[in-house]
Homo-oligomer: A and B are copies of this chain.
Amino acid sequence: MVLDEAALDARGPERVEAFSDGVFSIAITLLVLEIQLPNLGENPSPEALITALGSLWPSYVGYVVSFLTIGNAWINHHNLFRLVGRVSHGLLISNLLLLMAVGFLPFPTALLADTLGKPGEQVGVVVYAGTFVFASIMFNVLWAAVKKVLRPGAPRSAIEAINRSYLLGPPISIAALVIAFVNPTLGIVVIGGLMVLYLLPRASGT
């Protein structure tokens, strides 16, 4: 249902942020449910347990990469909404579509963890990179909606920094997708490396 433009104008983004924070924090916390020990019978020996814990390494990789991905997406979302002056219908919808990508991430993460180091590895990495492509496009759609409802006094430098950064998102994630088709291991390294790079403080330090 869409209300009057005038009525919408009066709305601040606080509840949109609260709802989004909920989705981000749940998606990031659900990731741990994908880490599961294989069934080892009633009383496994310590050695069997240690071997099983070791064999879960793809799950640990998936947990860390996806935790950093969703955490980084949240930081981006946080920075974006600092610039929002009022809530438009376009903002609500594009935000919902971005959250749909974020909320979906536990599935490709589980697939990645199930396939790393196995014959289906390429399928797992391609699906994972594909979700990335979708999310990076959705971030640009959301950004286009935010730019129509900027708050007065939103710093020009922040807008330009986001412009630059977001334009790079889709080509880089599409590149990771293409690389995954050629060499899945390299594809996941590119995605993991991107995450670390994004999370590093700038040269000036903070």
Contact = CB atoms under 8 A, between A and B. Distances in A.
Interface of A: 1-8, 10-11, 15-33, 35, 37, 42-46, 48-50, 53, 63-64, 67-68, 71, 74-76, 78-79, 81-82, 88-90, 92-93, 96, 99-100, 103-107, 110-111, 114-115, 118-120, 122-124, 127, 155, 157-158, 161-162, 165, 198-199, 201-202, 204, 206
19 contacts: A1-B198, A2-B201, A6-B155, A8-B206, A18-B21, A19-B25, A22-B25, A23-B29, A26-B29, A33-B33, A35-B107, A43-B120, A48-B120, A49-B115, A49-B124, A53-B123, A67-B100, A88-B206, A89-B201
Copies of this chain, count: 4
The 6 closest A-B pairs by CB, nearest first: A22-B25, A89-B206, A26-B29, A49-B120, A71-B96, A88-B206
Contacts of A158: 3-4, 7
Contacts of A53: 111, 123, 127
Contact of A93 (B90, B106, B157, B199): B199
Interface centre among A1, A88, A103 (most CB of B within 10 A): A1
